Amino acid sequence: MELVVSEEPLVERWQEFLKKYYWDEILKLSNAYPEERSLYVSFFDVIKGATELESLLLEEPDVVLRNAREALRRMDLPTGVSLEDAHVRIVGLPEAHRPRIRDIRSHHIGKLISVEGIVLKVTEVRPKVVSAAFECQQCRHVTFVPQEGRGFVEPAECEGCHRKTLRLVPEKSKFVDAQKMRLQEPPEELRGGEMPQILDVNLEDDIAGVATPGDRVVVTGILRSYQRRTQHGKSPFFDVYLDAISVEREEKEFEEIEISEEDERKILELKSDPNIYEKLIRSIAPSIYGYEEVKEAILLQLFSGIPKELPDGTRIRGDIHVLLVGDPGIAKSQLLSYAVKLAPRGIYAGAKGATAAGLTATAVKDEFGDGRWALEAGVLVLADKGIAAIDEMDKMDKKDRDALHEAMEQQTISIAKAGITATLKARCAILGAANPKYGRFDRYEPLAEQINLPPTLLSRFDLIFTLMDRPEEEADVNLASHILRTHYAGELLATSGGDVKEVRMIEPEIPPSLLRKYIAYARRRVFPVMSREAMQMFLDFYVGLRRQGYGEDAPIPVTARQLEALIRLGEACARARLSNVVTAEDAERVIRLVNYCLRRVFVDPETGKLDVDWVAVGTSKSRRDRAKMIKEIIKELEEEAGGGAVPLEEVLDVAESRGIERAKAEEVIESLKRDGIIYSPKHGYIGIVR
């Protein structure tokens, strides 16, 4: 780096500044030295106390920091310690010098900047040579070669005898701990499906190894560039990375969303609306027809229950997990992406996740780490303190499925591979969607079997919705006209951009920008407590559910997880009203919602009884039910006939011979037809849909 000023005055200026503003800290450091080696200097103090260093520090950070370090080294301390290897680490750059990763440009090269992001990936901390010692095999002279660039520099010949008999001697070389980190833009700063961009960061000495994947950090450092290489040799294009000066960890949640006084006034105005709860539900995905209950669940998920730390150290999650299972083409993916847009911190992911790390986390050895292992965060870690929408969950890897168990209850992800052991935080609510394995949802098969998710995982969802696409005249007309209206409004909007009646009809009652603020406000400020009535209602409902399973040989219908779900949902419900009390009314709403899901998921269609085992384990006796037998009979007959539909009468005959009354068999066939499991190509013929 070329010098623009004589350096000596700078060192003196730093000494003055440090003595005046940082004397106590320096003394503290000297007591902890050499275990601690960093003096953190706030840029704000530099502005205040040493104005002339301010712009020079931004423009020529290498020179200025070298001098700062020299000033620290020369400091004459009463403790008698010499801070030979200590660093001056700058923190807190002003806004103008904090570009978003995507806004980093060539004029930033060589300058001091701060970059905010989520840690996506870190390598192991490994020694890096900073001064390599080469010993001549002939004359034993040792040549020291400083290693500052990206490549390893080797001298051509011995300094002493000019022969080429040099050998690297690690014992005489000087090393520093080094780590490479990859930062990704935080999800809440991305607009409308933008791909997050990344920046690599080099960390050395005591700031290596402090951050783990999923952490939110602000890294202050000097932007460097290096020339790209292609197979044709050097390229005119350069890549950039950041040489870190300091790393600050951030522990903020919904702070990203700023709420002005004007916003607060609007929020409190909404609060006083007696129909606020219904209004909130109607503001979720108004372009999607129906699904009031699903929208209510998503709403509660956005507000979340209260996470609890108990005195015995147990942590109970407040996050509400919701699963949508159902036929294809019924707006599951749409609902997911809507939820992500509303969530102050939401990530949408397919089953495979966006990165090699998948949903959870992984240890990899690739070119990023230059031979070192690197730990990479997946979606659930990146969505910490937000919502992770996972589409097509049925297509998940086994590795992810296993890790999801831990992620959903303990809200951590542990990894132990290749000597890397780490526990990463994954405190997020999961909104999952899954398609049934055989294309269509079949009420007569246990849920767990149909969607390729193990019962243990299913039981961790607070609410499971099973959505079926059943042809029904009235609903079809309503849905179709809703979709037509929506598209029509969209067309009008595209041509006139206008304020027309049709457009206003599909506008959410509460605009998304205000709703996000409302949610952030509630999550920051409102921590409701259950009222006596609510507690009693939850108790009664839960015991009532359990009772249905009492009696001879009955499967246990409901587990304690459902009770916890009720509590969380109740808290979220109160929060949605910005109330500090979970009232009887909240309890009633939540019970209605839970009941709605239980009815569809847990009711054995054969017996009409609630049965968790029917979903989960699939051992319920009525699994050997008529529906299954009928399907088998049809299949057999189809095979005999060499494919295609078979006569209904024949099916009924065979069924009768196997002990199913004709009337019952016909009933089952009708319901299988409604569910789209079997079809009838012409009168009196049926076949299995494939």
- Write out the residues near ligand ADP by the rule CB under 6 A: 288-290, 328-334, 479, 482-483
First to last CA, the chain: 70
Q: Is the peptide bond before 34 cis (omega within 30 degrees of 0)?
A: yes
Written as six digits, the tokens of 405 are 């168990």
Q: How far is the CB of 469 from ligand ADP (least distance, A)?
A: 8
Measured CA to CA in angstroms, residue 623 lies from 441, 603, 664, 677 at distances of 16, 12, 16, 16
Q: How far is the CB of 514 from ligand ADP (least distance, A)?
A: 23
Residue with Cβ nearer ligand ADP (486 or 579): 486
Nearer to Mg ion, 395 or 635 (CB): 395
Phi, psi dihedral angles at 388 (to 5 degrees)? -105, 115
Nearest to ligand ADP of 331, 660 (CB atom) = 331
| Choice between 135 and 391, CB closer to Mg ion | 391
Counted residue by residue, the chain has a size of: 690
CB of 441 to ligand ADP, least distance (A): 11
Residues 242, 219 contacting (CB under 8 angstroms): yes
Comparison of 393 and 534: residue with beta carbon closer to ligand ADP: 393
- Cα–Cα distance list, 209 to 26, 124, 204, 405, 475 (Å): 23, 8, 9, 28, 58
Q: Which of ligand ADP, Mg ion, none lies near 330, with the C-beta cut-off 5 to 8 A by kind?
A: ligand ADP
- The answer to whether 559 contacts Mg ion (rule: CB under 5 A) is no
279 binds, among ligand ADP, Mg ion, none (CB under 5 to 8 A by kind): none
- Cα(581)–Cα(599) distance, integer angstroms: 28
What SS3 string covers 128-153?
EEEEEEEEECCCCCEEEEECCCCCCC
Minimum distance, C-beta of residue 339 to ligand ADP, in the bound complex (Å): 12
Residue 537, CA distances (Å) to 584, 587, 590, 592 in order: 7, 7, 10, 12
d(CA 339, CA 284): 8
Q: What distances in angstroms separate CA 410 from CA 27, 403, 485, 527, one per listed residue?
A: 42, 11, 44, 21
Q: Name which of 350 and 490 has its Cβ closer to Mg ion.
A: 350
Q: Tell me the closest approach of the beta carbon of residue 332 to Mg ion, in angstroms.
A: 5
- Specify burial of residue 345 (Cβ count, 10 A radius: 0-12, 13-18, 19+): buried
Hunting for tokens 């949903």 — which residue is that? 359
Q: What is each CA distance from 307 to 252, 310, 313, 314, in whole angstroms?
A: 16, 10, 13, 11
DSSP tally for the chain: helices H, then strands E? 22, 26
Instruction: Mark residues 192-221: x for contact with Mg ion by CB under 5 A, - for none.
Output: ------------------------------
Q: How far is the CB of 442 from Mg ion (least distance, A)?
A: 19
Contacts with Mg ion in 378-437 (CB under 5 A)?
Answer: none
Q: Which residue carries 């709860």 as its tokens?
A: 277
Q: Which is nearer to ligand ADP, 347 or 627 (CB)?
A: 347
Question: Measuring CA to CA, how many Å separate 335 from each of 187, 289, 420, 477?
Answer: 18, 11, 37, 21
428 binds, among ligand ADP, Mg ion, none (CB under 5 to 8 A by kind): none
Nearest distance in Å: CB 682, Mg ion = 33
Q: How far is the CB of 391 from Mg ion (least distance, A)?
A: 6
Among 561, 560, 587, residue whose Cα is nearest residue 573: 587
Q: Within 316-375, which residues bind Mg ion (CB under 5 A)?
A: 333
- Interface with Mg ion (CB under 5 A), residue total 1
Residue (330 or 375) nearer to ligand ADP, CB: 330
Whichever of 334 and 559 has its CB closer to ligand ADP, that residue is 334
Distance of alpha carbon 534 from alpha carbon 537, whole angstroms: 5
Closest CB 327 distance from ligand ADP, rounded Å: 7
Q: Which does 374 bind (CB under 5 to 8 A by kind): ligand ADP, Mg ion, none?
A: none
| CA dist 59 → 175, 193, 222, 555, 642 (Å) | 29, 35, 10, 72, 80
Partner from Mg ion, ligand ADP, none contacting 329, C-beta within 5 to 8 A by type: ligand ADP
DSSP state of 552: T
Pick 131 or 486: Cβ nearer ligand ADP: 486
Picked from Mg ion, ligand ADP, none, the partner binding residue 479 (CB below 5 to 8 A depending on kind) is ligand ADP
Q: How far is the CB of 596 from ligand ADP (least distance, A)?
A: 17
Residue 284 CB, shortest distance to ligand ADP, in Å, is: 12
In the complex, least distance from residue 334 CB atom to ligand ADP, rounded to whole angstroms? 4
**Cβ closest to ligand ADP, residue 288 vs residue 565:** 288
Nearest to 299 by CA among 572, 676, 642, 497: 572
* Residue with Cβ nearer Mg ion (350 or 605): 350
Positions 228 through 257 that interact with Mg ion (CB under 5 A)? none
Least separation in angstroms between CB 391 and ligand ADP: 7
Residue closer to Mg ion by CB (options 430, 576) is: 430
Residue 290 binding result from ligand ADP, Mg ion, none, given CB thresholds of 5 to 8 Å by partner type: ligand ADP
Q: Which helix (H) or strand (E) holds 621?
A: none
572, 320 contact by CB (below 8 A): yes
**Distance between CA atoms of residues 537 and 541, nearest Å:** 6
Judged by beta carbon distances under 5 to 8 A according to partner kind, the member of ligand ADP, Mg ion, none in contact with residue 331 is ligand ADP
Q: Which does 155 bind (CB under 5 to 8 A by kind): Mg ion, ligand ADP, none?
A: none
Tokens for 371?
A: 């031979």
653-659-660 Cα angle (round to 5): 70
Rounded to whole angstroms, how far apart are CA atoms 17 and 363? 44
Residue 91 interacts with which of Mg ion, ligand ADP, none, CB < 5 to 8 Å by class: none
Q: Which of Mg ion, ligand ADP, none sits in contact with 337, Cβ below 5 to 8 A by type?
A: none
Residues binding Mg ion (CB under 5 A): 333
